[in-house]
Structures are given as C-alpha cells and as structure tokens.
Amino acid sequence: MDLSNIKEIRPIFLWSLPAIVVFLVALIPTLKYGYPLSLDIYYHIHMAHLYMTQGFTYWDPLTYAPFGRPIYYPPLFHYSLAVLGFLFNNNLLTIVRGLQPIFGFLIFLSFTYVTYKLYDIYVAFFAGFFAMFTSLINQFILPIAENLGLIIFPFSLYFYYLSVETNNYRYAAISGVLAGVILLDHTLSMLNLIIIITIFSLMLLLSRRKINLNHFWVFLGFSLLVASIWWLPLLLKYGYVFRSPATEAVPLWEYVPIFGVISLILTPIGGFLIYKRRETQDILILAWLLSLLALANVYLLGISVLSERILTFAVFPLAIMAGLGLNYVRIHFNKKLFYCLLVITVAGAIISATFYMSETKPLVSSSEVDIGNWFKAHGDKQGVVVSSSYLLDPTIVAISGQPVATGGYDNGRINELDIGKYINGNFGKSDLIRDKVEYIVLNIQMKTPPYFTVVYQNSKYKICMLNKGVL
C-alpha cells in the first residue's frame, strides 16, 4: 500500500467525518416519517410547481387568493427544486425527503472544509463534532432555501478572508459572486453575511491592520451585480413590499442547548487564543460570532428579528472556538487528558445528535397531507380555500395547486381576505361572490358555516364545500 496515498486521504477523511455522521443520524427521522420535516418546504414546493408550469414569473396567483401577490422570495432554491421535479417525474414530496440527509451532510462538509483551510485538520475535525452538540441540528437537515445559503455561506467568508490576507481583488470578486448567489436564494442569509463581513472589516481597521477597503467595495459590488439579475426587475415593477416578521426571541438560558455544554466549556480557551494571537482568521471568527449574537438580540431595541434562525449561523464560529480550545489541550496538556476529552466530545456529539434527530417530528402530519390530496383529486383549481389552521394552506397549495387564502411567507402580501369571518360563519352571499371562496377547511369540532356542506373529513379536519346554486 502506498503510504503517500494514505497521508493524502487521511485529512480528507477527518474533515469529512462529522458530515458523514450527520448524514447517518439524519436518516433517523427521514426513514421514520413519510413526509418532509419542515413546514416551509411546502411553500417552496408550491413555488417550484409554479415555475414548472408558468416558467419565469414575478406573480403568484395561488397564495393570498383571490388577489395573488408579487413574488418576493428569491427564486434560486425554487428553480433548483423545479429542475429536480422535471428530472424525477414531479415527485417533489419524495425528493425533498431524500434531500434531508444530503443537506445536513453538505452544510457540515462546507463548514469543516473551510475550517480546515483557515486553521488545520485537527481544528476542523473537532469543530465539526462540537457543532453537532447543538439542539438546532435538526434545522440543518431541512431542505429549505436558508440551508442552501448556509452551504455557500462559509465559502463566501473564506474567499473574502483570502482577499484581505493576500490583497487580491480576485478573491473579493469570488466572495461577492457567492454572496450574490445567496441573495438570489435567501435574504436573511445574505443579511447575516453582509453584517459579518462589515464587522470583520471594521475590526481589522480598528486593530490597525493594513486593509484596503476596496476589497469590501469589490465584494459588495459583485454581490449586488449578481443579485440584480432577479431583484432589479422585481423592484422596478412592484417596489418593495416588506412585512416585518413577528419577533421570535431566544432567552439567554436557551443558548446552552443551542451551543452545547461541552462546546461552551472549551470555547473560553479558544477565545483566549483568538484574543492573544489576533491573526486575520481569528478576527474573522470573532466577528462572525459577535455580530450574529448582537443581531439575534436586537429585539431588545424593539426591532423584529428571528433570533433562532440567526443563531443557527452562530453555532459554527463558536464550534470553531471550542475546536481551537481542544486543539490547545492536544498540544500543551497531558495526552491522557486530551484523549479523554476527545472521546467525550466525539461520543457525546454522536449521542446528542442522535437524541435530537430521534425527537424530530414533521410539523405537517398525515392529516394535513390527506386534505391536500383530497383537493388534488377533487378540487376545481379555481375556488379559494379558507382554512382554520396555518398548517393547511401551504400544504394544500403545494400538493394540489388549489388557490388558498394565505399560503406561507408574508412578504409580497398586498391584500388578504378576512379569514376570521369565514371561520366563524359571519359572511353573506356577497362576500362569497367577491372573495371567490368555495371551500372552508375547519377543525373537526368546529361548526359548519352557512351555505356549505361537509364533503370530506378525517380525524382532524373537515372540508366544507359551497352548496351548488348558492351563487
């Protein structure tokens, strides 16, 4: 056996091993449940179907019906799903289930590879397992636009770091192109990236490093240029309709399971090393962590923010700091102590990831999918559906293409129906004519509204259809 080949394969194996473990544990919920784990994926499937049937479009007529709305969700992930739909006979529910372990694998692979390039194989290996301690690990296996952005995210940071370190504009341009691709995929991911790179650049300036800010402007210019391919025509046509999301604050005590106890124990050692050395890559990791921690807590200033979504991006720099801490133990402490910590880390990470994956359940159950399938078989594809559960509208429109009164993801919403009056039965014939409502889906125990008859029900819901001859 050629020993040189073993030496070449060994680092690849080490930095890819955490990703392989994540792939394997992600199979637990994937094989256990017959439906995708995410609610968001049903909106994405709907958009993929819309692009498959209408081609390039900026208008969605099927959600927030009967009004419709401009599409303000970037299209890259949806077009990617559409391509897979064409390749695999339009079976997108099965496709996205299969993507769950693949997404988890790719997110961890991109993270550990970039960590390897920034530091070394040991830090990459350690950091990959420290990241597996997070209680949010089940979020990383969801095939959603945010996670597609998270796969690209570390590479954009890495190329910007290279541009600063080598004073080469080419790397800034590559970083900007990748950032533009992210902006064509998921706006929150791009916001995180812009904030990190801005803080990183400012920290380099404050530390009196020689930094040419032209690198930042090249990065920003290329990112906006790439993103403008889709965003510019949209904004020129419709302006920007922004709906601030409801704040999802994460209290400080929940940071412990989010980052992992063992990771938090070793992070101060890595943090001390970063402070002591202050190499360019150290400042990048510090900027990555501190900027996202600050952004996740802007709700304290009254600004709406999805804290948990932001903290998923913060798991990785903290894991790198913990990896630096364990690597310091490896170099400077007794080998027995290091190997003891290594075994605890690897075994604990696998056990933790397995536990969280085993506890993961789909937000959409067979009852919601059953309702979607009824509309696929019996819906007229014209009348508007009003539903009593927020789980139903995305599911119905994704599976059947039936117009729905909401549909997930608020941005772009210009007009909407008064759903409450239909759920409570406080409507007249003129309302039905104006709003084109032909179906009302209610929880099984709710009262059937006037002018409607129950045509189908399961253990959770009943479908009420407008009586013939009413209008």
What residues does each domain of the chain span? 3-33+72-359, 366-466
Residues with Cβ within 8 Å of residue 303, at least 6 apart in sequence: none
- From residue 321, alpha-carbon distances to 271, 308, 328 in Å are 6, 20, 11
- Record the tokens describing residue 413, joined without a space: 């919403």
Q: Give Dmax over CA atoms of the chain in angstroms.
A: 84
Beta bridge partners of 440: 386, 464
Q: How far apart are CA 283 and CA 293, in angstroms?
A: 15
Tens-place pLDDT, residues 287-308: 999 999 999 888 888 777 888 8
Q: What dihedral do alpha carbons 242, 228, 193, 134 form, nearest 10°?
A: 70
Strands 384-387 and 452-457: unpaired
DSSP string, 124-184: HHHHHHHHTT-TTGGGGGS-SHHHHHHHHHHHHHHHHHHHHHHT-HHHHHHHHHHHHHHHT
**Average model confidence (pLDDT) for the chain?**
91
Top mean pLDDT of 34-48, 200-214, 245-259, 406-420 is at: 34-48
Mean pLDDT lowest for which of 176-185, 392-401, 406-415?
A: 406-415
Query: Residue 110's pLDDT is what?
Result: 96
Query: Residue 354's pLDDT is what?
Result: 96
Query: What mean pLDDT do residues 159-171 have?
Result: 94
Query: Residue 400's pLDDT is what?
Result: 94
Tell me, what amino acid is at 182? I
Residue 7: pLDDT over 70: no
Query: Residue 1's pLDDT is what?
Result: 46
Residue 94: pLDDT over 60: yes
Query: Residue 6's pLDDT is what?
Result: 61
Query: Residue 335's pLDDT is what?
Result: 87
Mutual angle of helices 335-359 and 261-277, in 10-degree steps: 130
Tens-place pLDDT, residues 358-408: 999 999 999 999 999 999 999 999 999 999 998 999 999 999 999 999 988
- Record the tokens describing residue 415, joined without a space: 């007009």
Mean pLDDT lowest for which of 5-14, 22-31, 121-130, 422-431?
A: 5-14
Residue 4: pLDDT over 60: no
> What SS3 class is residue 451?
coil
Give the Cβ contact number of residue 82 at 10 Å. Answer: 22
DSSP 8-state secondary structure symbol assigned to residue 388: S
Helices (H), 207-279: 214-238, 255-259, 261-277
Residue 334: pLDDT over 90: no
Number of helices and strands in the chain (H, E): 18, 6
Query: What mean pLDDT do residues 84-100 have?
Result: 89
Q: How far apart are CA 101 and CA 112, in angstroms?
A: 17
Query: Residue 240's pLDDT is what?
Result: 79
Residue 278: pLDDT over 90: no
Asked if 462 contacts 441 with a C-beta cutoff of 8 angstroms, the reply is: yes
pTM assigned to the model:
0.92
Q: Which residue has the higher pLDDT, 239 or 196?
A: 196
> What SS3 class is residue 456?
strand
Query: Residue 21's pLDDT is what?
Result: 96
**Pick from 379, 321, 364, 266: which is nearest to 41 by CA?**
364
User: Cis omega (within 30 of 0) on the bond before 66?
Assistant: yes
